[in-house]
Structures are given as structure tokens and as C-alpha cells.
Amino acid sequence: MRVAVIGAGVIGLSTAKCIYEQYHLTQGNLTIEVYADRFTPLTTSDGAAGFWQPYLYDNGRTEETKWNKETFDYLLSVLSSPESVKMGIFLQSGYNLCSDYAPEPSFKDIVLGFRHLTKRELEMFPGYNHGWFNTALMIEGKTYLPWLMDWLQSRGVMFYQKKIESFKELADAGVDIIINCSGVRSGDLQPDPQLTPGRGQIIKVDAPWLKHWILTHNKRSSTYNSPYIIPGSRLVTVGGVFQVGNWSEANNSIDHKKIWEEACHLEPSLKHARIVEDWAGLRPVRTTVRLQREKISCGQNDIEGEGLHSVLPSSRSSHTFLEFSSVLGARAGAGDPCWALGPAHHLLTPLPLAGLLEAPAGGLYGQRAGGHGGQQAAAAVHGEEAGEDQKRDGGESQQPAPAQGGHH
């Protein structure tokens, strides 16, 4: 079985790892290929601070909170392994500051040591009179991505630097399953009006005395459009802006000025810190995470009839890179198979008409421990816009509609 993953950011690489872990023993001739035009250190994941925290509220999208939890728990389990330092994963505590009262966040039961900030703590942050303290995880892309690539390469996963122009291109080449983890530029592959860039710009600063992250939440500005300071293992990431629809990856001086002034106001000790560099990246923003299976026929190929293509991609915003890796159960506890968790279960379920995936006796989930059965069934039923069957006539490929939100 030939699986192709499009995208080599944290989503693509985590997905490849999960597929390998889950299926390499049970699927004969499983090969995994990763296609991307950008690899570490040039992906969006590399520039991100690498801080595990979802948006404050899931607004009823409880599956996202579930994915977030699975990711957090997985990363936490990795902490006690000897690999954790090489993976770029570590604990860090800090402050979520709100200008006014706000309800507790959806992640409060996921993180460690969640509590409200005391009056005296809030005195440190004039203008903020409510907030929380907790311990969360850092997962630094510039370390984690190379680690993932090494892991995959040593297990025979092939990498190709190539911009894939269409799913058909891969289907024609004989790929059986495509996993689309192409992030913000997924529109180039298939139009998605819900997908748009959420441009961010950050300043990397040398300020090693800072050991806590600080995130602010202003009702006036949207999330990540107000200051945040996130220390990393070497430099501190200072932000932020969140500019919907802005495709520019160039650094902007006006943004720099705003970010720096607001951050210094929030954390006066930054005033004389040495600025190392600016960076701008495009968060792949979407109304909801798109985790969805799709069938695309690929005409006259070795594959007869319909191919089974799993379309799995665009995350909702930068931090959901991590939410997302939980989708394919980026969880590799000792002895655990890697789960295709939650809705991702249905991705790899053979469709009634697909003859491609040969389900071993007992189904694909023959190795799965009891508890997830109900979960899988539930996932198949709830909320999932399980792939609209898009049949294209053999031989002809429909041109995809032009991507929305063109490049500026």
C-alpha cells in the first residue's frame, strides 16, 4: 500500500509517524512518502514558538478539546523518556491574562496545576485584572521536526522536495492513499473557502532570565493580536499579530514596532534585551479543523475503479498543529500501537466499494484494544462530514475552482 503525505510540517510528519506505527506490521508492503516544497527549518511549524495551548474556548467543538488532550497527554508521556530533550519537548509554566473577567478555558482540565491568578500576581500586570496560571508543554519545531524526520527516515519513509500540483498527480503515479497536510496553501490543491492565512509576526529575543510564558487576551483585539511572550530553550518569542487574509511572509516594520512596544509594556525587563531576528508566518486558519475523508477517482491507472483518497488537512490555526497530531493519535507509549484516534478512525476504514485496502481478519482495528470501539463508532456518526463523494469521470480531471483568498 502506497501512502503519500503532502506537507512536512508538524501535521504531515506526525501523521506519517502515526501511520507507520499503526500499520507497518499489519499492512503488507506499506510504503510512506512525504512530499513538500518546504522542509524544516523553513516550515510554518519551525517559526512558531512551539507552545501547547489551544484557543481559550472550543465553543462546543468538544472533539477539538479531545484532540488537544490526546496530544498533551502524549507529549507528557514522552517527557519521561530519554528522547524528550532530543525531541525539543519540555514543561513551562506561565500566565494567561485577561483584561476583564472571562470564563475558564476549555483546556483547564488538560494542563497541569491550573489555578486562578491571585491579586498579588495580577499586580505585576497593570491593565489585566483576571487570569490563570498553569504548567503546559513546549514543543519546539526546529528540534521536533528534525527528530521526526530522522525517526521516519530510519524506518524507510521517503521524502521528496516537490510541490504537488494536484491529487491526480499522485494518483497517476500509483499512490493509493493521499493524506493532505498541506496547511495554509491547501487551497492550491483543492479550493477551500473556509481556509485563510492568519498572518503572524514574531520577534526572537535573547532574554534568558524569563522562565514563564505570558499570554494576553483582550476583548478588544482578537487572540494573538495582543501581546504574548513565550520563552524557548534558547530565545524568547515575542508577538503578536493575527492578520486574517494577509499572505505576506515578509517582516513588517509597523508590526514590529507594535509588537515590541506592547511586549515591553507587558514585561519591562525586555527593554534592553538583544533582538535577534524577526519572522513572519501564515497560520493555516479555518473555521474548524478539516479532518475529512474524500474519494477521488483517478481514471485509467493501475488502480481500477475508484481510488480511496483520504483528505486530511487544514488545521484551524497555528497552535492546532498540535491538536492535530493527536488526530492520528500521535501517541507512542511503550508498547502501544499508535492510534488513529477520534474521527481519524474513519479515514482509514475501508469504504464498502474500495477494494484497495485489504482489511486483515478482524478489520483494520484488529489490534485495537477494546475501549476505542465505541469511540470509533461514535466518531463515524457525529459531526463528521464524511467525504462527499466527488466522482470525476475517468480520463478527465475537473479543474479545481481558483483558490479563495489569493496571494497578495
Residues found near another protein in the complex (CB under 8 A): 79-80, 82, 84-85, 90-93, 112-113, 115, 117-118, 120-121, 124, 133, 135, 207-212, 231, 233-234, 268-273
Shortest spacing between CB 287 and another protein, in angstroms: 35
- Which CB sits closer to another protein, 101 or 209? 209
Bridge partner list, 281: 200
- Which CB sits closer to another protein, 118 or 194? 118
- Which CB sits closer to another protein, 208 or 366? 208
Shortest spacing between CB 87 and another protein, in angstroms: 10
Q: Go through 380-393 and write b for each residue having 16 or more CB atoms within 10 A of its CB, e for each that does not.
A: eeeebebbeeeeee
Shortest spacing between CB 315 and another protein, in angstroms: 26
- Which CB sits closer to another protein, 92 or 288? 92
Shortest spacing between CB 297 and another protein, in angstroms: 49
Three-state DSSP class for 266?
helix
Shortest spacing between CB 272 and another protein, in angstroms: 6
- Which CB sits closer to another protein, 132 or 324? 132
CA atoms of 149 and 146, how far apart (whole Å): 5
Q: Which residues, other chains included, contact 187 with Cβ-Cβ below 8 Å and sequence gap of 6+?
A: 195, 403, 404, 405
Q: Which residues, other chains included, contact 280 with Cβ-Cβ below 8 Å and sequence gap of 6+?
A: 47, 199, 200, 201, 202, 248, 249, 250, 251, 252, 255
Position 404, amino acid: Q
Shortest spacing between CB 324 and another protein, in angstroms: 24
- Which CB sits closer to another protein, 133 or 247? 133
Cβ atoms of 197 and 248 within 8 Å: the answer is no
CA atoms of 237 and 262, how far apart (whole Å): 13
- Which CB sits closer to another protein, 145 or 273? 273
Q: Which residues, other chains included, contact 98 with Cβ-Cβ below 8 Å and sequence gap of 6+?
A: 128, 129, 130, 131, 216, 217, 218
Cβ atoms of 174 and 31 within 8 Å: the answer is no
Shortest spacing between CB 123 and another protein, in angstroms: 9
